Amino acid sequence: MFLIVGLGNPEEKYAKTFHNLGFLAAGDVCAKLHTKFKKRECEASVAEAYLGGEKLIVARPVTYMNASGRAVRQLMAKYKISPSQLVVIYDDYDLPKGHVRVRPSGSAGTHNGMRSVIAETGLTQFARIRIGIRDSEVNIPLIDYVLSDIAKEDYELFTSACGRAAEAAIALSLGEPVDRVMTRYNG
């Protein structure tokens, strides 16, 4: 069993913001696996699929970004998910816009949602897929930037990045070694 969690904010007004790229990528996972978010449990919208004979849970926390860890902790407990079965997808200001980076572990960096996940679960050794959002031409406070809408001229770039992040999450869920997934999707 695997748990893929895309981080974001649940309200419609945040749907096209940088901070919702994790939600968008989780939606892409569902589209690729022909499933939908059908139920709500553990403070998350949840979809289920079977991949390689194993159950896969895809989730979007409804707790807002800064409390995402509560949903992750609850889902891990309910489904008895080990750290090696967890993949978290999120936006990352520390990467250039449109870049995807897969890592087997790490810190939260500047991301409050990941801080919450790490604080609530007590874990740092789980796969994460980061989607870069930094634009060197934009000079506004980080909190304003992550909650701003993605520019129309960049939408295709981020749609592609979310698709690649979804493919990487599926590859990890199929048991592909993280170093091989990193080689294929990082950059």
Residues with catalytic function = 19
The three state secondary structure string of the chain is CEEEEECCCCCHHHCCEHHHHHHHHHHHHHHHCCCCCCEEECCEEEEEEEECCEEEEEEEECCCHHHHHHHHHHHHHHHCCCHHHEEEEEEEEEEECCCEEEECCCCCCCCHHHHHHHHHHCCCCCEEEEEEEECCCCCCCHHHHHCCECCHHHHHHHHHHHHHHHHHHHHHHCCCCHHHHHHHHCC
